[in-house]
Structure 1
């Protein structure tokens, strides 16, 4: 592996883990806390969070890792041999599918649906409790596991190279 690719891969280990840690916090206690807030407080908090996250360092890292994951997977296919190549390709694909695609086609549509409704409406609270929470947290848990797998696979490739 070239020096630049080794450094990129090492940085991605940390970035995958950092993003996975944020997702873990949401699946573990943040969403549960939002759900325990009386009335529409949790809904309003999530609506605000979904706007603010678009202007955050998290979003830069999240989007940047999609590009980095693609670079890692392609470069590993073209220029890395043996088991490290397979681990790096798998890590890149896992992030792109298990994190980026799940977000784009799962969590974001749910967030958009939540953004477009009145938090005080009784049907909104029912949607929040009966549909949004279960689906969003399940998808988020997939993203958590995918990030941690991508981190571990990339680290494994670096260790055995």
Structure 2
């Protein structure tokens, strides 16, 4: 039974991490650049709209479910660390939870909150938007790399089992 649960969690985590890596990659590769090229007020308004809609979308169950699944895999791997694929499972889960979830909570969400509190045409908007574009995108790169690396590690774990 534990083998079936672990296999299911590995597949779910690999797919979830891969899906989220693709989303974060899109933002890093072109969405943030495009938002930075349009009028500041329009860019801020668009990003604020994205931030409102994303928490009401299917993104949230995937985001939270993948994080929970990865955390469970760290525990399961730790309990059976000597089994084939366990180290990749632990590393993938830990990397994802820290490099994606913790980074999101500690860096991206506070930047989103600051942007939401900014008047898009106010005097402070220019500095807030410039900082947002660089800082948020940097941390999004971290999330992209962590999610993609976790996907690879889960594939290694699946192949090793």
| TM-score relative to the length of structure 2 | 0.95
Partner residue, 1:132 = 132
1:20 aligned residue:
21
How far residue 80 of structure 1 moved from its aligned partner, in angstroms, is 5.0
Residue 4 of structure 1: CA displacement?
2.2
> Where in structure 2 are the equivalents of 1:77-96 lying within 5 Å?
77-79=78-80, 81-96=82-97
Q: What secondary structure, in the 3-state scheme, does the structure 2 residue paired with 1:81 have?
A: coil
Find runs of 4+ consecutive structure 1 residues off by over 4 angstroms.
none
Matches within 5 A, 1:71-110: 71-79=72-80, 81-110=82-111
Tell me, what secondary structure is at the counterpart of 2:29? helix
RMSD, aligned CA: 1.3
- Count, aligned residues: 160
Post-superposition offset of 1:120: 1.1
CA distance in 1, matches of 2:137, 2:147: 15
1:1-161 equivalences under 5 Å are: 2-79=3-80, 81-129=82-130, 131-161=131-161
The runs of 5 or more residues in structure 1 that have no matched partner are: none
1:63-99 Cα offsets, whole Å, 9 max, x none, are 1111111111101111353451111001111111000
TM-score of the superposed pair, with normalisation by structure 1 = 0.95
Runs of 5+ in structure 2 lacking a partner? none
1:124, distance to aligned residue in structure 2 (A):
0.4
